[in-house]
Amino acid sequence: MKNVFLPNSIEEFRQIWSAVPDAVLMAGGTDLLVSLREGKTKVKNIISLERISELRHIDCSGGEILIGSLVTHQQILDAPIIAEALPVLRQAASLLGSPAVRHMGTIGGNICTASPAADLLPALYLLDARLELHTERTKRTVPITDFIIGPRQTSLSEGEFLYRIRVPIPVPNTRAYYFKVGQRKALAITIASMAALLRLDTDMTVLEGRFSWGSVGPTVLRFPETEKILQNQKLSEPLLKEIGEKSARLTEPISDIQASADYRRMLVSNFPLRLLQAEKYTGSNGKK
Amino acid sequence: MKISFRLNEKMIEIETAPDRRVIDLLREDLGITGTKEGCGSGECGACTVLIDGVSKLSCLMLAAQLEGRSITTIEGLVQDGKLHPVQKAFVSHGAVQCGFCSPGMVMSAVDLLQRNPLPGRQEIRRAVSGNLCRCTGYQKIIDAIQSAAKELD
Ligand SMILES: Cc1cc2nc3c(=O)[nH]c(=O)nc-3n(C[C@H](O)[C@H](O)[C@H](O)COP(=O)(O)OP(=O)(O)OC[C@H]3O[C@@H](n4cnc5c(N)ncnc54)[C@H](O)[C@@H]3O)c2cc1C
Ligand code: FES
Ligand code: FES
């Protein structure tokens, strides 16, 4: 039998954790309880963070959106500030799991599981998210790229937990997109995904373009050198094709039960072309 | 560990292991067997219940999490011996074949109609996208939810 602790505040949580330092943290439990049941993880003590209301806030301050680690995917979908400032994160949350999974699962759990197929990660990489990590005594803020170091591996140290996520608000008139391919529309593990952000001049010249790729490497990937190709070029089909093909060569996909590495590469080279279609459907204001 | 919570509007107190899954607490310890277990891993939705009115999966919740909460199962939708409008619509539209998925489907539908009283068919499809049905082909389930929405409105 495992003990389950449910602290109501950060202070209470710290006290419990120092008394049972071997405890594993639980947010929504949608990854943790599945892996415990599969017997992959053995634990004696569980600390559930779900009642710490301080971790459930979404705030806006100093040009950043601050998202508590226990914010659920449903909260992301419901928050007007996310729809307005970070539509790409909202889009990603809308494609994650099923309604009940979105009611339970959290952004912090999605990050700390560190699966290359996790749906919120491409958006968070694209937006240059930073993570606030706390221990009883220390606080540090690290870019998400430094936090996730491999498939299901993070640089979380002993006694450290994810407090909240800081996401800089993109400048106005940036358009952002998230495309995911899975075996079906709901409850499907991502075979490959792309998040993209475009800032265009009125004549369709690209001022800035960012792309991040999910499930085609040990972590979510970004290729800054390839992104630069877009700069000051008119948005066009050949240009997007070039981005796709160059990125596909840089990805390191694996073949698994979901799909082959070749299929994943093919998805990567074609994803950017979808931006043109999305453009047609959404008109010129770019709102998704 | 002793936990107390509201089950279908009644306060109860029960001695249980804190890491007992809520689905086991319901079905095996309390004998409330309307809630079903299909996959045990979040994929099928058969175990859907409402926690403080919000749909969650009882196979991925631990008993300790219920402390002080209110849980509604399919049994709790019946009021004064009368079926809930969603349940009635499932019956009248033939949205039930073997019935294994029905409790979870109905709970997901109730959650949807609380958020969105007049959903379109696409919204209904999305709302039950985490509930698998191996019999009906889903169309009659969607018909039933749509008609319940009209009746409740
Ligand atoms: C049926 C099903 C479908 C799913 N579909 C998708 C999908 O489409 N896309 C997708 O990306 N994911 C999916 N998932 C995976 C999962 O739901 C998400 O990754 C979710 O965001 C995990 O969050 P959680 O709060 O449930 O994490 P938990 O399971 O509570 O925790 C996950 C891990 O993170 C650690 N952790 C959690 N919070 C913190 C914190 N604040 N500080 C330090 N460590 C922490 C835990 O110790 C644990 O190791 C699915 C899961 C299920 C069961
Ligand atoms: S039994 Fe819980 S989702 Fe299948
Ligand atoms: S009616 Fe049999 S599974 Fe849905």
The predicted pLDDT at position A40 comes to: 73
As given in the structure block, the two tokens for residue A55 are 């971790």
Coil vs helix vs strand at B64: helix
CATH number of this structure's domain A53-168, picked from the four choices 3.30.465.10, 3.40.50.150, 3.10.20.440, 2.30.30.100: 3.30.465.10
The predicted pLDDT at position A1 comes to: 86
Residues B104 and B147 in one domain: yes
- CA separation for the pair A53, A174 (Å, rounded): 32
Chain B contacts of A101, Cβ < 8 Å? 42, 57, 130
Residues B50 and B116 in one domain: no
CATH code of residue B70: 3.10.20.30
CATH code of residue B133: 1.10.150.120
Instruction: Quote the CATH superfamily of domain A174-282.
Output: CO dehydrogenase flavoprotein, C-terminal domain (3.30.390.50)
Count of beta carbons in the 10 Å neighbourhood of residue A59? 11
- Chain A residues within 8 A (CB-CB) of chain B? 1-4, 6, 29-30, 33-34, 37, 46, 48, 50, 97-101, 103-104, 185-187
* Closest by Cβ to B67, choosing from A6, A46, A103: A6
Q: Which residues contact B38 (CB under 8 A, 6 or more apart)?
A: B44, B45, B46, B47, B100, B101, B132
Closest by CA to A146, choosing from A123, A124, A168, A163, is: A124
Give residue B112's domain range. 85-152
Domain end: B15, B46, B76, which one?
Answer: B76
Closest by CA to A43, choosing from A52, A57, A33, A53, is: A33
- CA separation for the pair A63, A99 (Å, rounded): 30
The residues of chain B scoring below 50 in pLDDT are none
Residues B62 and B109 in one domain: no
Shortest distance between the Cα of A104 and any Cα of chain B, in A, equals 7
Chain A contacts of B17, Cβ < 8 Å? 1
- CA separation for the pair A195, A124 (Å, rounded): 9
Backbone dihedral region of A128: left (phi > 0), alpha (psi from -120 to 50 degrees) or beta?
left
Residues B21 and B64 in one domain: yes
User: So what's the ipTM on this one?
Assistant: 0.98
Residues B99 and B69 in one domain: no
Instruction: Say if the Cβ atoms of B19 and A46 lie within 8 Å.
Output: yes
How far is residue B10 CA from its own chain's centroid? 17
Number of domains in chain B: 2
Domain end: B51, B76, B101, which one?
Answer: B76
Closest by CA to A120, choosing from A129, A132, A111, is: A111
Count of beta carbons in the 10 Å neighbourhood of residue A71? 23
Closest by CA to A173, choosing from A93, A87, A89, is: A87
Q: Using one digit for the tens of pLDDT, what is the confidence trace for B69-102?
A: 999 999 999 999 999 999 999 999 999 999 999 9
Residues B23 and B72 in one domain: yes
- CB environment A213-243: b (16+ within 10 A), e (fewer): bbbbbebbbbbeebbeebeeeebeeebbebb
pLDDT in tens, chain A (288 residues): 899 999 999 999 999 999 999 999 999 999 999 999 998 778 999 999 999 999 999 999 999 999 999 999 999 999 999 999 999 999 999 999 999 999 999 999 999 999 999 999 999 999 999 999 999 999 999 999 999 999 999 999 999 999 999 999 999 889 999 999 998 888 889 999 999 999 999 999 999 999 999 999 999 999 999 999 999 999 999 999 999 999 999 999 999 999 999 999 999 999 999 998 886 554 444 444
Domain end: B50, B76, B102, which one?
Answer: B76
Closest chain B residue to A45 measured between Cα atoms? Answer: B19
Residues B66 and B9 in one domain: yes
How far is residue B137 CA from its own chain's centroid? 19
